[in-house]
Amino acid sequence: AGAGVDLLAEIDRLKRERNAVILAHYYQRPEIQDLADFVGDSLELSRKAQATDADVIAFCGVRFMAETAKILSPEKTVILPDMDAGCSLEDSCPPDRFAAFRAEHPDHIALTYINCSTEVKALSDIIVTSSSAEKILSQIPKDQPIIFGPDKHLGGYLSRRLGREMLLWPGVCIVHEAFSETELLKLKALHPGAPVAAHPECPPHVLDHADMVGATSAILEFAKTTPSDTVIVATEPHIIHQMEKAVPQKTFIGAPGADGNCNCNICPYMALNTLEKLYLALRDMTPQVEIEEGLRLRAKRSLDRMMEMAS
């Protein structure tokens, strides 16, 4: 943007001109969360994208989220400030390898985390988010074998919770994988009594020390409602912005990585979106999410199953 552009005022003006809605995930930079029309978890954002009557969805999140919005709302223009905003879970699961894995297990259904490509959604039977996974899995008959991908930690957590074996795809989220058990134990010793709230993308040696495990929306709710005045937060630290806004009198501490602070747990993909890129995307209406119609319809089937089973 040219020098002197008032980004906040320009984004607001362009938003009205284009009849756009700005949706943001909790892992976005604070300044983006603050100007969004709605901030939420993956399922909430999908529902908003499906229900909006705006002409344009400016999606401040990662690419698989913006693609989900387009799959569910094909008549809307969906823009993403930076098209390089990918996800390590999506990268871990190339569609051709996933198709081969499915072919090796023809009696299994594929229950798949929403953090994957549109192609992998098209190869799946039912999509889940972290907030809907338990509810959906508990509706699947006990004798039905299941492949769960691409997050092995979420899959392992669900298996343990519901006492149900699943074949797990070996993907991980690089952000949650980076939490250090040793540093977390040191932090807990410094703040005795402070509960640990963790996302199920965390590895089991971190979840073992958690007092609460849940999706971003559930972690935020826990932070607001727990009687403790200090909470250790084992997920991407930008969510702490919402906690501090909601309950400024409490103290929220990001769980540490091996270096002892939470900076290495910032999602590098989410961080690609900036106010300036959002402004340029609204001004130029690019980059836009485009999905070939046959592929979109195939991916929509597994997403529709999620929407039905999660409601």
Nearest distance from residue 86's CB to ligand SF4, in Å?
8
Nearest distance from residue 118's CB to ligand SF4, in Å?
15
Q: How many CB atoms lie within 10 A of CB 31?
A: 14
Stretch that binds ligand SF4, among 50-58, 133-141, 171-179, 271-279 (CB under 6 A): 171-179
Q: How far apart are CA 18 and CA 23, in angstroms?
A: 15
Per CB under 6 A, does 20 bind ligand SF4? no
* Residue 246 CA from chain centroid, whole number: 21
Interface with ligand SF4: number of residues (CB under 6 A)? 14
Per CB under 6 A, does 129 bind ligand 13P? yes
SS3 for 212?
Answer: strand
Q: Is 124 annotated as a binding residue?
A: no
Residues 216-235 that bind ligand 13P (CB under 6 A): 216
Q: How far apart are CA 18 and CA 91, in angstroms?
A: 33
Contacts of 261 (CB under 8 A, 6+ apart): 254
Using CB under 6 A, pick the residue from 124, 201, 255, 281 that binds ligand 13P.
Answer: 201
> Which listed option, ligand 13P, ligand SF4, none, makes contact with residue 130 (CB within 5 to 8 Å by class)?
ligand 13P
Q: How far apart are CA 121 and CA 115, in angstroms?
A: 9
SS3 for 79?
Answer: strand
Residues 265-284 that bind ligand SF4 (CB under 6 A): 267, 269-270
Q: How far apart are CA 94 and CA 117, in angstroms?
A: 8
Rg (alpha carbons) of the chain, rounded to whole number: 19
Per CB under 6 A, does 115 bind ligand SF4? yes
Do residues 224 and 248 lie in contact, with contact meaning Cβ atoms separated by under 8 Å? Answer: no
Burial label, 18 (beta-carbon count in 10 A; 0-12, 13-18, 19+)? middle
Per CB under 6 A, does 202 bind ligand SF4? no
> Which listed option, ligand 13P, ligand SF4, none, makes contact with residue 92 (CB within 5 to 8 Å by class)?
none
Q: Is 108 annotated as a binding residue?
A: no
The per-residue b/e assignment along 171-202, b for 16 or more CB within 10 angstroms, e otherwise, is bbbbbbebbbeebbeebbeeeeebbbbbbbbb
Per CB under 6 A, does 42 bind ligand 13P? yes
Q: How far apart are CA 79 and CA 277, in angstroms?
A: 11
Per CB under 6 A, does 11 bind ligand SF4? no
Residues 37-96 that bind ligand SF4 (CB under 6 A): 62, 87-89
Q: Is 201 annotated as a binding residue?
A: yes
Closest to ligand SF4 by CB, 56 vs 175, is 175
Q: Is 25 annotated as a binding residue?
A: yes
Q: How far is CA 281 from CA 1, 18, 46, 55, 56, in A?
A: 11, 11, 20, 14, 11
Residues 136-165 that bind ligand SF4 (CB under 6 A): none
Closest to ligand 13P by CB, 58 vs 215, is 215
Query: Which residues contribute to the annotated binding site?
Result: 25, 42, 87, 113-115, 130, 173, 199-201, 216, 267
- In the complex, which residues of this chain contact ligand 13P (CB under 6 A)? 41-42, 115, 129-131, 173, 201, 215-216
- In the complex, which residues of this chain contact ligand SF4 (CB under 6 A)? 27, 62, 87-89, 115, 173-175, 201, 236, 267, 269-270
